[in-house]
Chain A
Amino acid sequence: MGQATRLRQLMEQGLVLAPGVYNALFAKAVESTGFDAVYVTGFGSAARYGYPDVGLITQTEMAQNLRYICRATNLPVVADADTGYGNIINVRRTVREYERAGVAGFHIEDQVFPKKCGFMEGKAVIPLEEHVQKVKAALDARTDPDTVIIARTDALAPNGWEDALARARAYREAGADLIFVDGIRTLEELDIYSKELALQGVPCLYNGGLVTAEEAQRKGFKIQILAGLALAAVFKSATAAMQELKASGTTRQTVAQFGPPGEGETVNDILGVPEVYELEQRYDVKKEGAR
């Protein structure tokens, strides 16, 4: 079964909780800690390359990272496709590249190109009708009909709820599998999102951790992503390590604080070093019979 089909099955069973990561190592950690799906954040992907999330990262770089991630995990991957990196022609190519990379679903948003992170100031959106066409183009470009196309609207911050709801309904009407209203900052906003869309039969994705997955499911959501999970953990731990190194010349306390992973869970275990040693024996790679 393809990953897109798997993702659809999971959504039928209940809410899919997908922690946000931005590299293959962290995707493996999501799988090994027992989650059902991986979310790949554009914000984190941009940070990985050393840039803020303002549309500087190319489709090529996103797709390359996704290829590594999809190869590294057996879980369905939900990915950020930003604006589709241009107009409907670019969207078509994005769909093909993302499908080829192995993603199960991805979201395309109605911001102007170049875009900004959903929680940043200064967002602007393209006309509703134009994004409807982009959603239709994305649906038409699929080679796997199960690929989950998620239409995201960023209209809440610049235009308010009325426009955001009109857009969400129009994108669903155009055939989007899922709707994603981004920039939800408060429980009140989450309740509007829930009452006006998620509980009205519009399949919706929620980005945030204001409520538990159980609660998000009661509110009618199909997918919950925590886009910033890995990036926040790395920011906190790496900053602490660098501060400790500066202050005392070691990183021991910081390392101890995050705890050594248990048996079978170290970086080398999870990356498959034991399997490499097995393969070396099987194919007689090491003359000296290492280990």
Chain B
Amino acid sequence: MTGSRATLRAAMADGMVLAPFVYDGFTAMIAAGQGAQAVYMTGHGTSAQIGLPDVGLTSMAEMVANLGYIVNAVDVPVIADADTGYGNAINAQRTVHEYETAGAAAMHLEDQIFPKRCGFFEGKEVIPMEEHVQKIRAALDARSDPDLVIIARTDAVAPNGWEDAIRRAEAYRAAGADLVFVDGIKTLDDLDTYTTRLVEQDIPSLYNGQLQPVQEVASRGFKVMITGGGHALSYAAVRQALLDLKEGGGIGEPRDTERFNATTSLLGLPEIYELEKQYAVDNA
């Protein structure tokens, strides 16, 4: 929903927006169904569900396709991973066009070299700060809806340390990024540095992780927190169900009508039956 860009901005002005990790329409609907005020489309999860590791193999077109499904599936703002913008500043501009058309409320662009890798993997490298400043400027210029939230991410902590990461975050904010996102926060010390050096210096910031519960992250002054669930939990749950099936010699769980109905309701089946009546759809 493109109208949700204003909603997202209003919510950020009010306090911290919590956006759970989702990787497809179904998980987005589960999150929204449980009252999430926004959802976060993970690049790691989007890659995983098509069988790829998060090392820059998934194309922008594939990301946009998934984004479109998620946007259609929920009424809440969708914050989307846009990796490096899939190339240089020109590619970043097309990425902004495509994400905006698909209905993203917010998107983050990072300063890794292309092809990138997951923010928590070994061997990350970053492009020069000045080059990413230009990509952020290009992204801001490419918006046709000024409410689209452009988030500048830096991956510099792991390869270059905090001083470079802070310098970059400040420069990206000065270039006009709505939010900054320092990724790869692994310890509470890191989170404290992030808080005192950026968040408390009035730089609107996003936190990715689960080092602290939501309330404590909010009280630090972050504007957005992305956390929880996601494809790793789904994978663990599916794997567990498969192992249970092996152990049980092939017997599944009994048919759970309640869960079946909860699932189909979440997916909108009751509305379909209503529409069939409304438009006199004859099935026979």
What 0/1 pattern do residues 26 to 61 of B give for CB contact below 8 A with A?
A: 111111011110000000000111111111000000
A-B contact count (CB 8 A): 254
CB distance from B132 to the nearest CB of A (A): 19
Q: In whole angstroms, what is the CA distance A284 to B202 when docked?
A: 42
Q: How large is the interface on B (under 10, 10 to 19, 20 to 34, 35 or more residues)?
A: 35 or more
Q: In whole angstroms, what is the CA distance A290 to B55 when docked?
A: 14
Q: In the complex, what residue of chain B is closest to A255 when comparing beta carbons?
A: B233
CB-contact partner of A33 in B236, B243, B267, under 8 A? B243
Q: In whole angstroms, what is the CA distance A270 to B235 when docked?
A: 10
Which residues of B208-265 have CB atoms within 8 Å of chain A's CB atoms? 210, 213-216, 227-229, 231-243, 245-246, 248-256, 259-260, 262-264
Q: What residues on A are CB-neighbors of B234 within 8 Å?
A: 25-26, 233-234, 237-238
**Is B125's CB within 8 Å of the partner chain A?**
yes
Once the chains bind, are B284 and A258 in contact (CB under 8 Å)? no
**Is A1's CB within 8 Å of the partner chain B?**
no
**Is A199's CB within 8 Å of the partner chain B?**
no
Once the chains bind, are B34 and A239 in contact (CB under 8 Å)? yes
- Given A25-B51, A216-B250, A258-B237, A250 and B26 contact (CB-CB distance below 8 Å): no
Q: In the complex, what residue of chain A is closest to B218 when comparing beta carbons?
A: A249
Once the chains bind, are A249 and B253 in contact (CB under 8 Å)? no
- Given A50-B29, A124-B283, A229 and B259 contact (CB-CB distance below 8 Å): no
Q: In whole angstroms, what is the CA distance A62 to B31 when docked?
A: 24
CB-contact partner of B242 in A33, A117, A243, A276, under 8 A? A33
What 0/1 pattern do residues 30 to 70 of A give for CB contact below 8 A with B?
A: 10111100000000101111111110000000000000110
CB distance from A291 to the nearest CB of B (A): 5
Once the chains bind, are B18 and A245 in contact (CB under 8 Å)? yes
**Is B272's CB within 8 Å of the partner chain A?**
yes
What 0/1 pattern do residues 121 to 156 of A give for CB contact below 8 A with B?
A: 111100000000000000000000000000000000
**Is A264's CB within 8 Å of the partner chain B?**
no
**Is A11's CB within 8 Å of the partner chain B?**
no
Q: In the complex, what residue of chain B is closest to A232 when comparing beta carbons?
A: B259
Which residues of A184-227 have CB atoms within 8 Å of chain B's CB atoms? 185, 208-214, 216, 224, 226
Q: In whole angstroms, what is the CA distance A26 to B34 when docked?
A: 24
Q: In whole angstroms, what is the CA distance A285 to B28 when docked?
A: 36
Total interface residues in chain A, CB < 8 Å: 91
Q: In the complex, what residue of chain A is closest to B31 when comparing beta carbons?
A: A242
Q: In the complex, what residue of chain A is closest to B250 when comparing beta carbons?
A: A213
CB distance from A72 to the nearest CB of B (A): 3
Once the chains bind, are A241 and B233 in contact (CB under 8 Å)? yes
B-contacting residues of A (Cβ < 8 Å)? Answer: 17, 19, 21, 23-30, 32-35, 44, 46-54, 68-69, 71-72, 112, 117, 119-124, 185, 208-214, 216, 224, 226, 228-239, 241-243, 245-246, 248-252, 254-255, 258-261, 265-268, 270-273, 276-277, 280, 286, 288, 290-291
- 9 tightest A-B CB contacts, nearest first: A209-B252, A50-B25, A290-B123, A213-B250, A50-B73, A24-B51, A249-B213, A72-B51, A237-B237
A-contacting residues of B (Cβ < 8 Å)? Answer: 18, 20, 24-31, 33-36, 47-55, 69-70, 72-74, 118, 121-123, 125, 210, 213-216, 227-229, 231-243, 245-246, 248-256, 259-260, 262-264, 267-269, 272-273, 276, 283-284
